[in-house]
Amino acid sequence: MPSSQSARRDNRTVNDQGLMRALNLKEFYPSRSNNARKADFGRVVVCGGSDRYAGCLAFNSLAALRAGADLAIVVAPRRAADIVAGYSPDLITVPCSSPYPDPNTAIEVLENADSLVLGCGVTRNLESHKALIDIIQRCKIPMVLDAEALHALAANPESIKGKKTLLSPNAGEYQVLSGKPWPTTLDVKRVAVETLARQYNATVIVKGAPDLISDGEQTFEDLQGSPYLTKGGYGDLLAGAAGAHLARGRTPFDAARVAAFVVGRAGELASGKFGESTLVSDVLLFFSSVIRSD
């Protein structure tokens, strides 16, 4: 991923008329009223986790808060929920007795939420996939589907029909969703992400260098990032930040654009300081610098 100032200016949207529009963060972070109150800027629910994986849920949730959401609530198996609760007092957790997010518990929490981030850290098996699809089908608010939710969706594409959805696959998950390998050239990658967006009638961001985002009609290339951002969890920040902007009323396309920009640029700043030692948690510390300075 290029990291020069000129590369950052080249982030652009190309719509079906061939028109290009650059990203301006001021559109997404206008000045707040002095009368702003808690929950005015979105409540994000994160559902996922397992006995093995919990850190991804903390990254989802903290990224949502750092990207501007007011509340982040984690619904997860008890061990994962307890780990997340112990990691940060900023996060609210709702533990489940099942080894995957319990659909009934999730739907109850979603009644007072503005967006859902679903799928990170879930174990791959038939029962967990059934639970994820149940949540997707019953969810009435905008969703970011990532990780195991994408594997479940691939076998049940009709479950998101009529819903406001952002899919955030990496190259391997793209292949799961499309049945085809991720292309190697940029022009063919653009066509591939546009085709997948039309296939699922959803917005898609395929994470890579560059990140490619499409809703089937317009496509955005995000050039932020660094080769030091290879540790597990970086994509969890993207899903959480996108969830924050869905909760603030953005379209899935715009939520993906601003999330990719903020996370990628924060990653550049973090890796500029830490280099080979850069951790995903380091990237979170630079969200404010990106949002404040744009």
pLDDT digits (tens, 9 = 90+) for 28-60: 998 888 888 888 899 999 999 999 999 999 999
Residue 127 is predicted with a pLDDT of 98
When pLDDT is averaged across residues 5-22 and rounded to a whole number, the result is: 48
Residue 186 is predicted with a pLDDT of 95
Residue 23 is predicted with a pLDDT of 82
pTM equals 0.92
pLDDT digits (tens, 9 = 90+) for 187-200: 999 999 999 999 99
When pLDDT is averaged across residues 196-218 and rounded to a whole number, the result is: 97
When pLDDT is averaged across residues 134-159 and rounded to a whole number, the result is: 98
pLDDT digits (tens, 9 = 90+) for 111-127: 999 999 999 999 999 99
Q: Taking the CA of residue 177 as centre, how many other CA atoms within 13 Å lie in the half-sphere pointing to its CB? A: 31
Residue 79 is predicted with a pLDDT of 98
Local structure of residue 114 (DSSP, 8 states)? S
Kindly calculate the radius of gyration of the chain based on its CA atoms and give it in whole angstroms: 18
CATH 3.40.1190.20 for the 5-22+40-293 domain, yes or no: yes
Mean pLDDT of all residues belonging to the chain:
92
Domain boundaries, the chain: 5-22+40-293
Sheet holding 143-145, edge to edge: 20-22, 12-14, 219-222, 211-214, 203-206, 165-167, 143-145, 115-118, 43-47, 71-77, 92-96
Residue 161 is predicted with a pLDDT of 97
| Percent of the chain surpassing pLDDT 70 | 92
> Diameter of the chain by CA atoms?
51
